[in-house]
Amino acid sequence: MEFGFSEGQKKLMAEMREFCMNEIPEDYDPEYSGRFQEAETLEFWKQFHQKGVEKGWPTAGWPKKYGGMGLSAIEQAAIASEMSYWGARWGGIMAMSLVAPTILAAGTDEQREKWVPPIARGEITAFEAFTEPDAGSDEANVQLRAVPDGDEYVLNGQKTFISGGVKPDWLYTLCKTADVTPKHRGLSIFMVPGDAPGVSYRPLPTMGGSQQNEIFYDNVGVPKENLVGELNRGFYLAMTTFEFERAAGGGLGARRSMEKIMEYARQEKLNDKPLYKDPKARDMLARMAVHQHLGFLFGWYTAWHRSQREKLGPQHYNSGTLWARLWQEFDGEHMRRVFGMYTQLKQKSKYAKYHGRPGRTWEYMHAHHAAGSPEIRRVVIADRGLGLPRIPRQFNVQINEALRQG
Ligand SMILES: Cc1cc2nc3c(=O)[nH]c(=O)nc-3n(C[C@H](O)[C@H](O)[C@H](O)COP(=O)(O)OP(=O)(O)OC[C@H]3O[C@@H](n4cnc5c(N)ncnc54)[C@H](O)[C@@H]3O)c2cc1C
């Protein structure tokens, strides 16, 4: 089998590369700044997005009618892949990569008209507000209530660990709208204005270095037409959103990071010899290169699968983004072995090795729950991807009984 890109795709990637080289400041370090979400950084990417819109790139894979270029998911991933090499991202990335594709796949025509074009233009931002203190892996256990009242639904409850930085224009919120069994059939999704009266935010910093949000809904009135898709079918919509979230393609970002660490290993000295001559460092570098290449292949496999979604149906495997998480763990562990106690130093310390990256990788490997933990992704691969049987009911009964007895 031969992998490759068409001439058109190569041209698109070359144009994207040039765009990134021209627009991104030379001193920008994607491995550090890219993961942080300060207002200033967000503003920079918003402007970057606006410039990309003139070329049609942020939404190249969407239908022309909704602000796209009508190309396939492969071209979309080709653009994303170049961007990841440079550590770039579009301003309204959450709205663009999660909310809009779900509305395009499952929303009504009116909803597509209302939300998709402004998202494509980068004019509005949205957070994916699903997780709650008692509803993470067990998404069906959402307790944030939405109760009908005249022309509105009134929302009360809490979300937690929500990504996206500062206050968004919209909260794509999963709510409980019925008390039924099974409970996943009583959930619905609403687009809630980010500044609606009764919505409040509390910052939640994580070990991984990101700034998450707790979001509180206190008697928040939302017009009924903001219900996305059908009432009580929100769980299925949330799963579609996860499909898009977990099916990230491309993966050139890791190649850049590999190039950087090789450069460092040539310059840094250990016992008067270049670091890369040390057997432990060589082992680490070789493993990192293999991990990076696997990530690259998984990324393109996923992009190809997504480009065939009409024919093959939803992507069940999540293998690429699962691998990305696992490989962070392996690399974090190897860096710890090579850099030893220096792993504990932050980037700002003058004694930190390799710009503090060993420490950051170590921290980041403890925060890999975003978009579903590795265990849950394995469950999805086993169940929906490979069609393996679920745990027999009688075992569940026995486990629950044992838990009850303490
Ligand atoms: C950096 C970051 C960004 C995030 N961004 C968002 C966001 O934008 N929007 C949003 O809605 N949420 C977001 N989340 C929340 C994330 O989706 C949840 O943390 C995740 O789904 C896990 O839920 P939990 O934290 O409640 O853990 P739990 O569900 O309580 O799980 C705890 C542990 O038990 C394991 N576990 C649970 N059930 C099973 C099972 N059946 N089989 C095997 N193992 C199991 C899990 O793997 C995990 O290790 C983010 C989280 C992080 C860390």
Q: What's the pTM value of the predicted model, to 2 decimals?
A: 0.91
Specify the residue with its C-alpha closest to ligand 1, atom 52. Answer: 370
Q: How far apart are CA 299 and CA 165, in angstroms?
A: 26
Q: Is the pLDDT of residue 281 over 50?
A: yes
Q: Is 376 in the pocket of ligand 1 (CB under 6 A)?
A: yes
Cα of 6 vs centre of ligand 1, distance in Å, is 39
Q: Is the pLDDT of residue 262 over 70?
A: yes
Q: Is the pLDDT of residue 34 over 70?
A: no
Closest residue by Cα to residue 126 from 89, 156, 90, 164: 164
Per-residue confidence (pLDDT) for residue 373, from 0 to 100 = 92
Q: What is the 3-state secondary structure (H, E, C) of the chain?
A: CCCCCCHHHHHHHHHHHHHHHHHCCCCCCCCCHHHCCCHHHHHHHHHHHHHHHHHCHHHCCCCHHHCCCCCCHHHHHHHHHHHHHHCCCCCCHHHHHHHHHHHHHHCCHHHHHHHHHHHHCCCCCEEEECCECCECCCHHHCCCEEEEECCEEEEEEEEEEECCCCCCCEEEEEEECCCCCCHHHHEEEEEEECCCCCEEEEEEECCCCCEEEEEEEEEEEEEHHHEECCCCCHHHHHHHHHHHHHCCCCCCHHHHHHHHHHHHHHHCEECCEEHHHCHHHHHHHHHHHHHHHHHHHHHHHHHHHHHCHHHHCCCCCCHHHHHHHHHHHHHHHHHHHHHHHHHHCCCCCCCCCHHHHHHHHHHHCCCCCCCCCHHHHHHHHHHHHCCCCCCCHHHHHHHHHHHHCC
Domains and CATH numbers, the chain: 7-91 (no CATH), 127-232 (2.40.110.10), 247-385 (1.20.140.10)
Residue 333 — very low, low, confident or very high, per pLDDT cuts 50/70/90?
confident
Specify the residue with its C-alpha closest to ligand 1, atom 48. Answer: 373
Percent of the chain exceeding pLDDT 70 equals 96
Specify the residue with its C-alpha closest to ligand 1, atom 2. Answer: 370
Q: What is the pLDDT of residues 119-146, one digit of tens each?
A: 999 899 999 999 999 999 999 999 999 9
Residue 242 — very low, low, confident or very high, per pLDDT cuts 50/70/90?
very high
Cα of 131 vs centre of ligand 1, distance in Å, is 8
Task: Give the Cβ contact number of residue 50 at 10 Å.
Answer: 15
Q: Is 137 in the pocket of ligand 1 (CB under 6 A)?
A: yes
Q: Is 140 in the pocket of ligand 1 (CB under 6 A)?
A: no
152: Cα within 13 Å, side-chain hemisphere: 9
Q: Is the pLDDT of residue 98 over 70?
A: yes
> Of residues 147 and 332, which shows the higher confidence score?
147
Q: What is the dihedral of CA 340, 346, 349, 351, to 10 degrees?
A: 10
Q: How far apart are CA 42 and CA 134, in angstroms?
A: 30
Q: How far apart are CA 143 and CA 147, in angstroms?
A: 12
Q: Is 370 in the pocket of ligand 1 (CB under 6 A)?
A: yes
